[in-house]
Amino acid sequence: MSFISHLAQRTWTSVKMPFIKTNPDKKLFTPGPLSCSQSVKEAMLRDLGSRDEEFLNIIKLIRQKLVDIGEVPPEEFTTVLLQGCGTYAIEAVFQTSTPRCGGRVLILSNGAYGQRMKKICDISSIPCDIFEFPEDSAVEVAKVKEQLRKGDQYAVVAVVHCETSTGVINPIEELGQAVKHYQPQAAFFVDAMSSFGAVPIRIQNGHIDYLVSSANKCFQGVPGFSYIIARKSELLKCRGNSRSLSFDLVDQYEGLEGNGQFRFTPPTHTLVGFVQALQEFQEEGGVKGRARRYKQNCTVLQRGMEELGFSKLVSGDSGGYIITSYYYPDHPNFDFEEFYYRLSQLGQLIYPGKLSNANCFRIGNIGNLYPNDMKYLLKCIGKVLDGMGVPVPVPVPAPISLPMP
């Protein structure tokens, strides 16, 4: 009997599927996906057709609300929704905004997600320059101005707002002003994946033409779609640029405007859940309210980690309040894989580092998390260190200055 025939004779009740469990959810101290509320999960327990009037009204509502939250005039800006994670939307902006002939991109990079932008352009054969900065500090506006004055003409200048490989926040308003001053023909593109909705962003003041984020970040929805807040005048210049059908933002925009529908099957449940997430966002006080809680979480985390002896990678205000990177303790008993596993067994999920030059791990404080969650995480970290034989306060590694990535 073949393997396939053998499986066909077995009943579902006899097949063990260990990946389907009823264990309690773990707390996600990560840059995404994030913990979301029970009410957001429950909102998704509905089936809607992609062409139902109710669902089309949901799409319309989400598009309007994101423009409102961005505090930009709806006659000048629009929201384009796109199936897939945030990286899909980033690739769509590059595909759409860069002319096929003569278009060149400048990427301002100080971490892994800036490097990912470069990879997207390289694979798509989009001409691209990358201007790199150390991973533990913000992009320097003065140096960017020098680069923009050199004479190379760019169709797009792109930067990550919150570089979640480290937690560094880049000065996007000053950068956008520099771009428009020295290269007014260039579109300014901001990856605000882990910041939009919790860090104030003045889109108009920063001359931002494209701002990208995702449903499962600071709005605390679930993964499934990303979105682009785009300046209409820039977007509509780009008809015919895209090398890809799926990533053509002009085509997606015109479809949404024409009949209210996605061109291809939309993530219906994710979008329904996002409406509930937006309602909870407004009830918390919008950007100011969410920022207040995330700042409280960050304060509890950073004070507690300092008491435990951990050393931050990023010092000063550049670190923001979204995610914090910490050096490994300088102790022979510390092993990150074991540290991660033991915390996971206690229901606490952190993230490994994403750096090329330092041994670090990351702890996020966004999503459906509160100060008491941070306090419990700290208690678990202390317990795990004790179990590993790492003294508390932990030995602090010698400070290093990270070179260019």
Cis peptide, bond prior to residue 393, ω within 30 of zero:
yes
Can you give the pLDDT at residue 358?
80
Can you give the pLDDT at residue 401?
55
CB neighbours of residue 286 within 10 Å:
14
Task: Specify the 3-state DSSP secondary structure of 132.
Answer: strand
In this predicted model, what pLDDT tens digit does every residue of 154-177 receive, in sequence order? 999 999 999 999 999 999 999 999
CA 360 to chain centre: 19
Task: Specify the 3-state DSSP secondary structure of 378.
Answer: helix
User: What residues have CB less than 8 Å from 388, skipping those under 6 apart?
Assistant: 333, 334, 335, 338, 339, 342
Reading the block at residue 399, the tokens are: 């400070």
To the question of domain 285-387 being in CATH 3.40.50.720, the answer is no
Task: Specify the 3-state DSSP secondary structure of 129.
Answer: strand
* Alpha-helix runs per DSSP H in 126-261: 141-148, 172-182, 232-235, 249-259
pLDDT in single tens digits along all 405 residues of the chain: 443 444 445 444 555 555 555 678 899 999 889 999 999 999 999 999 999 999 999 999 999 999 999 999 999 999 999 999 999 999 999 999 999 998 999 999 999 999 999 999 999 999 999 999 999 999 999 999 999 998 789 999 999 999 999 999 999 999 999 999 999 999 999 999 999 999 999 999 999 999 999 999 999 999 999 999 999 999 999 999 999 999 999 999 999 999 999 999 999 999 999 999 999 999 999 999 999 999 999 999 999 999 999 999 998 778 899 999 999 999 999 999 999 999 999 999 999 987 667 899 999 999 999 999 999 999 999 999 999 999 999 887 765 555 555
Spatial distance between the Cα atoms of 140 and 110, rounded to a whole number of angstroms: 10
In this predicted model, what pLDDT tens digit does every residue of 129-138 receive, in sequence order? 999 999 999 9
Question: Residue for token digits 């994030």?
Answer: 34
- For residues 125-141, one letter each, b for 16 or more C-beta atoms within 10 angstroms of the residue's C-beta and e for the rest, the string is ebebebbbbbbbbbbbb
In this structure, the strands spanning 168-169 and 162-163 are antiparallel
- 362 appears as a binding residue in the annotation: yes
Quick check: 348 and 377 in contact, CB under 8 A? yes
Question: How does DSSP assign 59-82, residue by residue?
Answer: HHHHHHHHHHHTT--TTTEEEEEE
pTM for the structure as a whole: 0.92
CB neighbours of residue 368 within 10 Å:
19
What is the dihedral sign for C-alpha 247, 253, 258, 259? positive
CA-nearest of 127, 122, 130 to 103 is 127
Can you give the pLDDT at residue 291?
98
Distances (CA, A) of 73 to 7, 64, 67, 230, 395: 58, 11, 8, 11, 52
Quick check: 27 and 349 in contact, CB under 8 A? yes
CA dihedral 302, 41, 191, 251 (to 10 degrees): 180
CA-nearest of 245, 249, 247 to 229 is 249
Spatial distance between the Cα atoms of 341 and 354, rounded to a whole number of angstroms: 18
Domain residue limits, the chain: 43-282, 285-387
Can you give the pLDDT at residue 8?
47
Helices then strands, counting H and E runs in the chain, come out as: 13, 14
Residues in the chain: 405
Can you give the pLDDT at residue 152?
85
Can you give the pLDDT at residue 4?
43
The CATH fold assigned to 43-282 is Aspartate Aminotransferase; domain 2 (3.40.640)
CA dihedral 386, 388, 393, 397 (to 10 degrees): -170
